[in-house]
Amino acid sequence: MPTFFEKLDQRAQAIDSLLCVGLDPHPEDLPEPTGAAAREFCLRLIEATQDVALAYKPNAAFFEALGPEGWEALRDVIRAVPDGIPVILDAKRGDISSTARAYARSAFEMLGADAITLSPYLGYDSLTPFMQNPEKGIFLLCKTSNAGSVDLQDLPLGGNYRLMMVYEKVAGMAAEWGAQGNLGLVVGATFPDALRRVRELAPQQWFLAPGLGAQGADLGAAMQAGLREDGLGLLINVSRGISRAEDPGKAARALVERFREAQKLTRPQLKAHKGALPRLVEPLVEGLLSMGCVRFGEFTLKSGIISPIYIDLRRLVTYPGWMTQVAAAYVRQLKGLDFDRIAGLPYAALPIATAVSLQGNWPMIYPRKTAKAYGTAAEIEGIYHAGETVAVIDDLATTGGSKFEAIEKLTSVGLKVKDVVVLIDRESGAKEALAAEGFQMHALFTLTDLLDYWEETGRLPAEQIADTRAFLKNAGSK
């Protein structure tokens, strides 16, 4: 039998919709506070929207508040949903495993829901009773849409390889726990940056994304940040925007048309990302321009080369938020390498390497430009031991000259160097020169990557891009 999320994929493709219709019988929307009124309210919505609803999401709280007859109404509403349309019980349960088993029986056996929202706060064992049947799904609270979510979900955590927020930790665990394919995440559309970060950590999961209607989320930003590469994976919940419309069916169909138009605009960009820039670094690429880290004109580089583009990452020290994102990008590259400590190169890369050291919890050293003429006369600052392997951190790579100077100092004291990591490769021969001497250079992106992105997004004049491409071509032919 297909899993819950396989069924969700199939229905999304069959009806070309990402709409989740929230069934929330608010007291003010009912003629009287009774189970019968709540039942009738929801049945009308189902009847009006079933042709475009990818899923329905009844909120248990509004039914429970009506007492036993409200609970009966909830069961009747779930049973009234046509076969083939998934029902997600919005209950946000979370308790120890013995209690969780009772909650699972209630949601899946007694009420007949296909999926449920759960809190991750009690850990994996509190989720396992809900994961026994792959035909049933879980949406784990990750980054919720309310403003107060920042109080706990955005708290920073230390880690083995980088600083992360609590919600990112949840996303990473969910990707691991959901190996059976029946675990998704609740990620509010109100926080597109969080959507983007979670999508990188959980690239295949479905996200239940509230916040588009009354909470004012931006549809285009949410689509760009949260869709999978196949254009699916984002279940967009709307409740009051449909239920309080004069014609709920018409409102639902209009929303789906909006979703489809936004998908058309987003899908080509998603496809372009395949094999190109990681989606998470897009804001960083934009930030390089806004911070003035990338300028155009006529510049003499350290190597003596005249360049139409100048990249100055020293400006990063003034922007701690961007520096944090740069360090996180380095950490993602470094975690796949084998080394004992990192070595930052003076001067531009020293603050970057420091931020990387703090996020990745890796010890750092650095070779001095010139040896001290006093005290210990050290050429390498920091604690190290001969025989250890060092990953060299620099900001840019042009010809590789500064890298070789630093590597010579590091190896002269018995350290080993295999890898050099830079943010941007200017594609002026550094990678090839280093490779010829047995060193591997890793760049988060090349100058060509940046130009391709800026051209695709229309961020730079075509003349500037053409001049820089010509420069790269000439530099590569020499």
Q: What is the predicted pLDDT for the residue at 169?
A: 85
In this prediction, residue 105 has a pLDDT band, given cuts at 50, 70 and 90, of very high
- Whether residues 107 and 234 share a domain: the answer is yes
pLDDT, tens only, 292-312: 888 888 888 766 778 888 889
pLDDT, tens only, 225-276: 999 888 899 999 999 999 999 999 999 999 999 999 988 888 656 555 444 4
Buried b (16+ CB within 10 A) or exposed e, 247-282: ebbebbbebbeebeebbeebeeebeeeeeebebbbb
- Whether residues 401 and 462 share a domain: the answer is yes
Q: What's the rounded mean pLDDT across residues 63-70?
A: 96
Rounded to an integer, what distance in angstroms lies between the CA atom of residue 395 and that of residue 352? 8
Of the residues 92, 169, 416, 418, only one is catalytic, namely 92
- Whether residues 101 and 250 share a domain: the answer is yes
Q: What's the rounded mean pLDDT across residues 316-344?
A: 87
Q: How many domains does the chain have?
A: 2
Instruction: Indicate the residue among 273, 302, 334 that finishes a domain.
Output: 273
pLDDT, tens only, 199-208: 877 888 899 9
Q: What is the predicted pLDDT for the residue at 274?
A: 45
Q: Is 92 a catalytic residue?
A: yes
pLDDT, tens only, 141-184: 999 999 899 999 988 875 433 457 899 889 878 877 876 678 99
Instruction: Indicate the residue among 246, 273, 300 that finishes a domain.
Output: 273
Global model pTM greater than 0.85: no
Show Cβ contacts of residue 339 under 8 Å, excluding neighbours closer than 6 positions.
362, 389, 390, 391, 418, 419
Rounded to an integer, what distance in angstroms lies between the CA atom of residue 415 and that of residue 448? 33
- Whether residues 263 and 381 share a domain: the answer is no
- Whether residues 302 and 199 share a domain: the answer is no
- Whether residues 162 and 70 share a domain: the answer is yes
- Whether residues 152 and 300 share a domain: the answer is no
Q: What is the predicted pLDDT for the residue at 369?
A: 82
Q: What is the predicted pLDDT for the residue at 277?
A: 52
Q: What's the rounded mean pLDDT across residues 407-412?
A: 94
- Whether residues 55 and 123 share a domain: the answer is yes
pLDDT, tens only, 309-328: 888 999 989 887 778 878 88
- Whether residues 351 and 405 share a domain: the answer is yes
Instruction: Indicate the residue among 273, 305, 325 that finishes a domain.
Output: 273
Question: Would the pLDDT of 464 be above 90?
Answer: no
**Full residue range of the structural domain in which residue 241 is found:** 4-273
- Whether residues 133 and 157 share a domain: the answer is yes
- Whether residues 299 and 428 share a domain: the answer is yes
- Whether residues 226 and 305 share a domain: the answer is no
The CATH number of residue 205's host domain is 3.20.20.70
The CATH number of residue 382's host domain is 3.40.50.2020
